[in-house]
Amino acid sequence: MSILRKTATEQFEAIKNKEVSAVELLDLTYEQIKKVDEKIGAFNSLTEDFAYETAKKVDEKVSKGEELPLFAGIPLALKDNMNLKGSKTTASSKILENFVSPYNATVVDKINENLIPITGKANMDEFAMGSSNENSAFKIVHNPHNLNKVPGGSSGGSAASVAAFESSLALGSDTGGSIRLPASFCGIVGMKPTYGRVSRYGLIAFASSLDQIGPFGRCVEDCASLYEIIAGWDMHDSTSIKAEVGSPTKTLKNDIKGTKIGVIKELMGEGIADSVKKSIEDAIKVYENAGAEIKEISLPNLKHSIGIYYILATAECSSNLARFDGVRYGHRTANAKNLLEMYSKSRAEGFGDEVKRRIMLGTYALSSGYYDAYYKKAQQMRRLVAQDFAEAFKEVDALFGPTCPTTAFDLGSRNEDPLAMYLTDIGTICANLIGAPALSMPIGYDEDNMPIGGQLITNQMQEELLFRTAYNFERETEFHKVQANI
């Protein structure tokens, strides 16, 4: 097997054992990008000079016999809404097409400290708004398993880069499933940490009470290790949790005998594809054989999560995106006669249709006379969803169900029906509403050989349990080893 097709954990061992140098691994990665990215569209820009500078530092350490930090030399794709000083950070929007980051995001500083080469900025749905990665202002991302299918969004470029061997690791952001959905569609592992576990400093905000940065990898161990690198308190982020991160990799391989896993009843009914349902049922048997106790759990308010999310997220997006006014940075119209016209034309020219749709929805929900009816009511309902989960976690240790009711759908098939697109996130939004950690992993393949993702959710701050429960499934199956033929 080519070194590119191995997991990041295996590649790191190869670098430490001098079987491959960091520069050689980076050479192979860029060769793969040049070979396939015209078909995939995973990257908005590449940061080759910066990546090679980092890789050379790794090889110097190896030659001197010095100890390497975790994942040193392993190529990583950075979602294009995270600041890397000196590189373009566009959020896949025309309004930021030429914006160059003046500083690093905290996660980028942590990646740099570990000497992990950042290969480039990964394509995404504009401002992280979308479930298919068809909303980028620059190009559509294609699924490496079938180029006619969507990769999932909004972190589709990050997920596709890992699945197409254009990077070994990636970082994405997750506001309502934007890491887990692409992981599911692309047949890899993606994880959203507890809200506040990973600093959002330097992340372009979409919905500040929901956004969270998280890892992509080819296996659970890759994600657990990358999570350890990026997690932790940050003085620059007021929502950052000041608590010990722990070490999920140390407990990863412990068994889960006696662990109580709840199967979410509401995600196993109407709308779920037969192949997805069967894969969930088969996965339950794997867990039973591993010694876990399985119980059906009902979350009665889960059905309201889409409505809650699309009021709260759009309201926060309306507020956050008000800063893009053509004055301080970003696109400014060339045809304005006065200040008001400059604001309106700059935003009309710079934002895409989906972003405009969400800004208008959010502005309406926050407007005088509607605030109590929509925004306040959605916050109250968010509390009820959280109470359902709190009650569930009194009975079980983890919750399990499909990441998405279906596998990846055809490009363009849902563009004319925003509601159908929004319903794609029915299984993922709840974890963002309650701030809990959640992970998607491959649990099967449908009749067209498209990946099926299973989602685990644990209580807040229970990342070690989350990774361990996922690893125990992965250890007993081969689904994560099935790779895209690209």
In a domain, 170, yes or no: yes
Catalytic residue, chosen from 87, 92, 136, 154, is 154
* Full-model pTM: 0.97
Q: Is 368 one of the catalytic residues?
A: no
Q: Is 285 one of the catalytic residues?
A: no
- pLDDT for res 285: 98
- Domain with residue 87: its CATH number is 3.90.1300.10
CA-to-CA distance for 268 and 405, rounded, in angstroms? 8
Number of structural domains found in the chain: 1
Residue 267 half-sphere exposure toward CB, CA atoms < 13 A:
31
In a domain, 27, yes or no: yes
Strand pairing category for 293-297 and 260-264:
parallel
Catalytic residue, chosen from 61, 79, 121, 192, is 79
Are the C-beta atoms of 431 and 438 separated by less than 8 Å? yes
Residue ranges of the alpha helices (H) in 290-442?
A: 305-320, 339-350, 353-366, 377-395, 418-422, 429-434
CA-to-CA distance for 329 and 332, rounded, in angstroms? 8
Mean pLDDT by 10 residues, the chain (486 residues): 94 98 98 98 98 98 97 98 98 97 98 98 98 97 98 98 98 98 98 98 97 98 98 97 93 96 95 96 98 98 96 97 92 93 96 96 93 94 98 98 97 87 92 98 97 98 98 97 94
In a domain, 287, yes or no: no
- pLDDT for res 422: 84
Q: Is 475 exposed, middle or buried (0-12, 13-18, 19+ CB in 10 A)?
A: middle
6: part of which helix (H) or strand (E)?
none
What backbone phi and psi angles, to 5 degrees, belong to 260?
-95, 120
In a domain, 25, yes or no: yes
Domain that holds residue 137: 3-257+464-481
Catalytic residue, chosen from 21, 92, 132, 178, is 178
In a domain, 190, yes or no: yes
Q: Is 17 exposed, middle or buried (0-12, 13-18, 19+ CB in 10 A)?
A: exposed
In a domain, 171, yes or no: yes
Residue ranges of the alpha helices (H) in 270-338?
A: 274-289, 305-320
Q: Is 208 one of the catalytic residues?
A: no
What backbone phi and psi angles, to 5 degrees, belong to 374?
-115, -70
61: part of which helix (H) or strand (E)?
helix 48-63
